[in-house]
Amino acid sequence: MKSVIMGIDLGGTSIKLGLVNISGQIVQSLEWPTPKNKSYHEVIAAFERMSEQLLRESSYSWRDILGVGIGIPGFLDFSTGSVFEVVNLGWHQVPLKEELERIWDVPVLLENDANAAALGEMWTGAGKGASHIICLTIGTGIGGGVIINGDIYHGANGSAGEIGHITVKEQGGRPCNCGKKGCLETEASATAIVLKTLEQVKGASGLLKEEYAKQGNSITAKSVVELAKLGDPTCQTIIADAGTVLGKALANMCYLLNPELIVIGGGISYAGEILFKPLTESFRNFALPRVRENTSIVQAKLGNQAGIVGAASLIHHYDLLES
Amino acid sequence: MKSVIMGIDLGGTSIKLGLVNISGQIVQSLEWPTPKNKSYHEVIAAFERMSEQLLRESSYSWRDILGVGIGIPGFLDFSTGSVFEVVNLGWHQVPLKEELERIWDVPVLLENDANAAALGEMWTGAGKGASHIICLTIGTGIGGGVIINGDIYHGANGSAGEIGHITVKEQGGRPCNCGKKGCLETEASATAIVLKTLEQVKGASGLLKEEYAKQGNSITAKSVVELAKLGDPTCQTIIADAGTVLGKALANMCYLLNPELIVIGGGISYAGEILFKPLTESFRNFALPRVRENTSIVQAKLGNQAGIVGAASLIHHYDLLES
């Protein structure tokens, strides 16, 4: 009896593979750095070698695999499994699903990584039991996934949920990679938080200054979150400001979608109440009672397992739907 | 054979009833002023008398009626047909569907009027053939309807599509009836356009000044649209500014929903290119190519029939779905 799903989380820095059982638990996993030139063929070769190693180290074989789900940091056509573009990997128009199904001879499903994370949270994380969800992942950028009637919503060309580029600051917003200014992601992502911290580090004292020196006149988003939790006021204010921006943007989204649940994940979400308190306050200020009264805002639960479990959830979800 | 649908458009100033055939054409209609005290029981009594008159003046009887669809300017539970609140009529918690089905003995379906208009446009107007639509009605307020996979999307408590209260101007926005400031509806509705025109009429000359005097030192939104079309520069600028605001708000909505079609109706939409050109430009400035390349923006087609046809479309749509 086929009993596990392979989930693959493809990122610009690393590739994670995991075997996930039908309850959504990771039973075995593996992480390799993404091949240096990131080419399509080298990544496929890495997938092959990693899957062999993963199975060899586990008690499973290909016979046990229900299918392979893959989360991709880019645009794709969910129905054909053809990848349009992955900017970070330099991929354009690659038939990933087709090629992997030929190699592995099991069903392969691809999804944008933020969408996969949203489905994963609905399967076994913070979204369990809900069927109208907006899921945000606050990392280097800000990814979003929209769940409607229990299913990922793709929109006209698969771009639904690309909320990182909502304009939130028309005047004086920072320039974004996308060419616009003042995008949600230039104001509230981990990257934005690091930039703001670097701008303010000169005036700062104590913990932040020490950590900045220790990291060779630099700072990571993870450290900003940790310092905020240790009580550093500069880091706390910067994260709180991001929360305020996010809360307003989410309020505006709720007028359109009136979701029952908003799930917020990614590295910055580990700041907990330092992020969530101002975020929720701002959300309440901008969303009318009628629109927000049935909407909860919660922290994602899958943490760094979100990528693998989210990818595996594709097979679980669509397998269930078709049976 | 049952062959027509009764559509009812309930407004704060008038009630419109119409018989609509299964191709979506109005074959007979009737408009009465809304009863002065607007009470629930008087409105129901008006529905009864109006429906009798409508049928008497037509070649149809109740035997021919597939069902009655009603568009309501308020919040309701679509599944039970219970109306939570209609602020303009002072209604709270009324079992409208239940009561009318008892009186008429035909299926009755209720829907928020903006949602019904969206469904109507999909049936026989500008949204024909599309199944992922955002529909805006720019009137006294700004109503919205979201069509997902060919169906009205209600969200967690029926508030999906209430986009009139998206915050578009945080600094210096006008106060809104809702208690917030700078809502889409305080910046770009017919009401907003009238207010802005009144503010600028003193510095204006020619057509606008004349019309303002003729209307007893006042102006209607309809006149502002007409004057803009006749070339009045103040009215043109005011409508264009509303278009710019709408374009940006719609761009932000597209990141979330990536619709294939945006349909814009209501009185202000009659301004045509004066509204649509700046609106489309602003939309293109704020929406990334990937997100907007499969999205068209079009003017609604049902015009002042939208209310009746939209209401009737409820019966057509759900009858089809269930058969």
For residue B120, tell me if it sits in a domain: no
Give the CA distances from residue A196 to residues A28, A221, A313, B4, B146, in Å, rounded to whole numbers and listed in that order: 38, 10, 36, 63, 37
For residue B184, tell me if it sits in a domain: yes
Residues B37-69 have pLDDT tens digits of 889 999 999 999 999 999 999 999 999 999 999
Q: Check CB contact under 8 Å for A258 and B158.
A: yes
Q: Check CB contact under 8 Å for B163 and A290.
A: no
For residue B123, tell me if it sits in a domain: no
Residues A117 and A188 in one domain: no
What backbone phi and psi angles, to 5 degrees, belong to B19?
-100, 130
Task: Choose among A170, A178, A257: nearest Cβ to B256.
Answer: A257
Work out the pLDDT band at A87, boundaries 50, 70, 90. confident
Residues A119-171 have pLDDT tens digits of 999 999 999 999 999 999 999 899 999 999 999 999 999 999 999 999 999 88
Task: Choose among B157, B164, B286: nearest Cβ to A167.
Answer: B286
Q: Check CB contact under 8 Å for A158 and B132.
A: no
Residues B173-221 have pLDDT tens digits of 999 988 999 999 999 999 999 999 999 998 888 899 999 999 999 999 9
Nearest CA in chain A to B74: A290
Residues B65-115 have pLDDT tens digits of 999 999 999 999 988 889 998 888 899 999 999 999 999 999 999 999 999
Q: Check CB contact under 8 Å for B255 and A163.
A: yes
Work out the pLDDT band at A321, boundaries 50, 70, 90. low
Q: How far is B58 from chain A (nearest CA, A)?
A: 40
Confirm or reject contact between B133 and chain A (CB < 8 A).
Answer: no
Residues B222 and B310 in one domain: no
**Rounded mean pLDDT, B141-165:** 95
Which residues does chain A have within 8 Å of residue B263's beta carbon, measured at their own beta carbons?
none
Q: Check CB contact under 8 Å for A178 and B154.
A: no
Residues A138 and A266 in one domain: yes
Q: Check CB contact under 8 Å for B159 and A248.
A: no
* pLDDT for res B12: 87
Residues A23-66 have pLDDT tens digits of 999 999 999 999 988 899 999 999 999 999 999 999 999 999 99
Q: Is the pLDDT of residue B320 over 60?
A: yes
**Rounded mean pLDDT, B161-177:** 93
What total number of domains does chain A contain? 2
Q: How far is B218 from chain A (nearest CA, A)?
A: 32
Residues A110 and A239 in one domain: no
Helix-, strand-, coil-residue percentages of chain B, each rounded to 5: 45, 25, 30
- Sheet bearing B75-77, strands edge to edge: B75-77, B82-86, B91-94
Q: Which residue has the tokens 């006294």?
A: B140
| DSSP helix/strand/coil, B274 | helix
Q: Which residue has the tokens 């001879």?
A: A105
Residues B312 and B289 in one domain: no
**Six-digit token string for B275:** 């509204």
For residue B119, tell me if it sits in a domain: no
Q: Is the pLDDT of residue B259 over 90?
A: yes
Q: What is the mean pLDDT of chain B?
A: 94
Specify whether the CB–CB gap between A155 and A149 falls below 8 A.
no
* pLDDT for res B193: 97
pLDDT cut 70: percent of chain B above it: 98
Task: Choose among B75, B162, B258: nearest Cβ to A159.
Answer: B258
Residues A108 and A162 in one domain: no
Confirm or reject contact between A77 and chain B (CB < 8 A).
Answer: no
Confirm or reject contact between A27 and chain B (CB < 8 A).
Answer: no
Residues A217-248 have pLDDT tens digits of 999 999 999 999 999 999 999 999 999 999 99
For residue B124, tell me if it sits in a domain: no
Residues B214-251 have pLDDT tens digits of 999 999 999 999 999 999 999 999 999 999 999 999 99
Which residues does chain A have within 8 Å of residue B134's beta carbon, measured at their own beta carbons?
256
Which residues does chain B have within 8 Å of residue A162's beta carbon, measured at their own beta carbons?
255, 258, 288, 290-291
Task: Choose among B167, B251, B290: nearest Cβ to A248.
Answer: B167
Chain A, chain B: beta-carbon pairs less than 8 Å apart: 126
Residues B267 and B144 in one domain: yes
Q: Is the pLDDT of residue A21 over 60?
A: yes
Give the CA distances from residue A243 to residues A187, A188, A277, in Å, rounded to whole numbers and listed in that order: 10, 7, 8
Residues B150 and B281 in one domain: yes
Q: Check CB contact under 8 Å for A161 and B253.
A: no
Q: Check CB contact under 8 Å for B286 and A257.
A: no
Q: Check CB contact under 8 Å for A153 and B257.
A: yes
Max distance between CA atoms of chain B, in angstroms, equals 62
Q: Check CB contact under 8 Å for B257 and A155.
A: yes
Q: Give bridge partners of residue B109 from the DSSP assignment.
A: B69
Residues B223 and B241 in one domain: yes
Confirm or reject contact between B289 and chain A (CB < 8 A).
Answer: no
State the DSSP H helix or E strand holding residue A92, giving kind and residue range, or none if neither: strand A91-94
Task: Choose among A146, A159, A258: nearest Cβ to B291.
Answer: A159
* pLDDT for res B151: 95
For residue B24, tell me if it sits in a domain: yes
Which residues does chain A have within 8 Å of residue B253's beta carbon, measured at their own beta carbons?
256
Distance CA A17, CA A130 (A): 27
Q: Is the pLDDT of residue B2 over 90?
A: no
Residues A145 and A284 in one domain: yes
Task: Choose among B158, B162, B295: nearest Cβ to A255.
Answer: B162
Mutation for B interface: A75, A180, A252, A255, most B CBs within 10 A: A255
* pLDDT for res A134: 98
Distance CA A241, CA B171 (A): 17
CA angle B255, A277, A272 (to 5 degrees): 85
**Six-digit token string for A63:** 């016979």
ipTM: 0.93
Cα(first)–Cα(last) distance of chain B, in Å?
A: 16
Host domain of residue A270: 128-300
* pLDDT for res B248: 97
CA angle B255, A319, A64 (to 5 degrees): 125
Work out the pLDDT band at B1, boundaries 50, 70, 90. low
Residues A73-86 have pLDDT tens digits of 999 998 888 999 88
Beta strands in chain B (DSSP E): 4-10, 14-21, 26-33, 65-72, 75-77, 82-86, 91-94, 108-112, 133-138, 142-148, 151-152, 261-265, 296-299
Q: Check CB contact under 8 Å for B180 and A288.
A: yes
Closest to B2 measured CA to CA, from B86, B76, B98, B67 = B67
Q: Give bridge partners of residue B265 from the DSSP assignment.
A: B137
Cα(first)–Cα(last) distance of chain A, in Å?
A: 16
Distance CA B218, CA B200 (A): 12
- CATH number for the domain spanning B186: value is 3.30.420.40
Residues A17 and A48 in one domain: yes
* pLDDT for res B48: 98
Give the CA distances from residue A286 to residues A145, A247, A254, A277, in Å, rounded to whole numbers and listed in that order: 22, 8, 10, 15
Q: What is the mean pLDDT of chain A?
A: 94
Residues A53 and A165 in one domain: no
A168-172, A298-302, B4-8: segment of lowest average pLDDT: A168-172
Distance CA B151, CA B161 (A): 13
* pLDDT for res A78: 86
Q: Check CB contact under 8 Å for B290 and A144.
A: no
